[in-house]
Structure 1
């Protein structure tokens, strides 16, 4: 099972530059530890998770690092022009040495729809269609496309790719699982996803594609130490604070204050549930963490574990990930 870092660019100290530079530094540190991947999220108008431009970070990191793969978890396709996005991806693929991982999602917040002129009722269809067009533009020489949302005629983007890109959908919906199974894409499970939901994903995928194994990645909070009581206490505190900070960003962002709706509040509370994040986290002594990961592996064929350190300190995050590398990873 591959090891990855799940990157949310948390602004714990209300210092945007520090939040971004420390997360970039942590990714480079994980490469030195031997991590296989790092996955970058996309959030907008958010004072806490300050990463509205994941491809900018991807480009920087591919130049800064040597071996670790850098993925997007995920690019919110309904917010983009797919032709322009295909050009940006093609540019990245021209120098990435096969290290860029292309993850997509539809987005979940009405504020995004209001601001970027998207439609919550059609975003999933838009995501599928935009992704289809992007793949055609990347892999075919002359593209004419007529869809429900996008059209183009005789378009040939540059640069051209040498080989197709792998695609991952960050979603737990039936429609997304079916799309992944039909097209042979991978899937990414959220940080609070339960085992029951993971089983649903694997079972549904197999129904539509019984021959090709699912390439599945799942995010998990993590905290490791000698004193179990202290680790549990810190992890619960961090999970609560993290999710409160995500929720409270509305109070300090003028955009969110103006566009906040009851629908947004409901979706946000379901996504940012500290109980689910903590209940499904990997926490405790190294031995306990080994047992928790082994139990997960025995039940599901997980290709990569995306780790989110449950701490407010970058230095403590490095300690957790270093401990994981030395005392947990060799035994799972």
Structure 2
């Protein structure tokens, strides 16, 4: 199994934004020497939830600081971008990194972000489909051209010309069954950011795999799973870390995305989140926070491995990306968390063979 490290640059009150950036960049510099296969970044705007407004900029910087590690976007949120500029940036990043870029894309969820860009959330699904079609066609052919509802692009060359295809390096962030089917249509593998029971995820993936096979005529690629990690030799301390940091992170998720809000009821394309919001309104936030903690990777090194194996048995992923610094961890706590996982868990995860879910 491939093992990656994800940097999210989450802000908190105990450090300035500049200090948070310096800490996260120092940890990112450890990914290659510690033996990780990939380094991933995310995209978010306008709050301290995560502070990478341009994930391709971050990865281009890291391309110049690394030699072998893959660089993944988890994800570029297409409705918030000019698709021409995305295609150009991706082409440049893949060339300067010598083919190490893994293109992850998504359609977005945060109302504060859509409103900040002046893009109606209800348009996100159609905008995503058009932008993805435009961008992937340009990366395949070197030609920018599109005539759609939202994007009308006269025929132009994409320069520099892409040097390689992205057939096996294209992924999309998806949680809802509705998004999963869209991702199968564009030929993307699935980036799983766990928010619901793994058996529910497995059911969604079964539909995705069937749709992918029907449309593409070949088996879908195995998914990649992201997990929030709290690893410690002491099981009690690890449990306490999970409650404090993983729970604290998800409380921020609830606030940033307004997951208990009623705006999903009137927003086209977010049917899954309508159901989630009603559940939160009915049962309260504490229950979903506890559920999120149980989905993640925490415990002693042995316990962390067991959790990763259990996930793989359900969803058949061939990659795991760990988040090691979040929710106000001190730099020392984050680095210890990262180094212990890299030394005691990662070698055994890499040795895991493929599993049919």
Q: Quick one: distance in 2 between partners of 1:328 and 1:286?
A: 6
Q: Is the 8 A contact 1:224 1:283 kept in 2?
A: yes
Aligned partner of 2:353 in structure 1 is none
Q: Is the 8 A contact 1:139 1:160 kept in 2?
A: no
Q: Which moved more, 1:156-165 or 1:170-179?
A: 170-179
Q: Quick one: distance in 1 between partners of 2:134 and 2:338?
A: 38
Q: Which moved more, 1:202-211 or 1:50-59?
A: 202-211
Q: Is the 8 A contact 1:239 1:310 kept in 2?
A: no
- TM-score after normalising by structure 2: 0.82
Aligned partner of 2:206 in structure 1 is 203
Residues 310 and 233 of structure 1: is their aligned pair in 2 closer, same or farther, counting only changes over 3 Å?
A: farther
Identify unmatched segments of 5+ residues in structure 1: 251-255
Residues 306 and 14 of structure 1: is their aligned pair in 2 closer, same or farther, counting only changes over 3 Å?
A: same
Aligned partner of 1:213 in structure 2 is 220
Shift of 1:164: 1.5
Q: Is the 8 A contact 1:191 1:221 kept in 2?
A: no
Aligned partner of 1:65 in structure 2 is 66
Q: Is the 8 A contact 1:223 1:310 kept in 2?
A: no
Q: Quick one: distance in 2 between partners of 1:69 and 1:195?
A: 27
CA deviation string 1:43-82 (max 9, x = no partner): 1111242111211111111111112111111111111111
Shift of 1:132: 0.8
The 5 Å alignment of 1:110-129 reads 110-129=111-130
Q: Secondary structure at the match of 1:9?
A: coil
Aligned partner of 1:323 in structure 2 is 340
**Partner of residue 230 from structure 1, selected from 237, 241, 254:** 237
CA deviation string 1:217-248 (max 9, x = no partner): 11111112222111101211112332344566
Residues 113 and 249 of structure 1: is their aligned pair in 2 closer, same or farther, counting only changes over 3 Å?
A: closer
Aligned partner of 2:324 in structure 1 is 309
> Size of the alignment, in residue pairs?
323
CA RMSD after TM alignment:
2.6
Residues 322 and 155 of structure 1: is their aligned pair in 2 closer, same or farther, counting only changes over 3 Å?
A: same
Q: Is the 8 A contact 1:47 1:249 kept in 2?
A: no
Identify unmatched segments of 5+ residues in structure 2: 265-272, 350-357
- TM-score after normalising by structure 1: 0.88
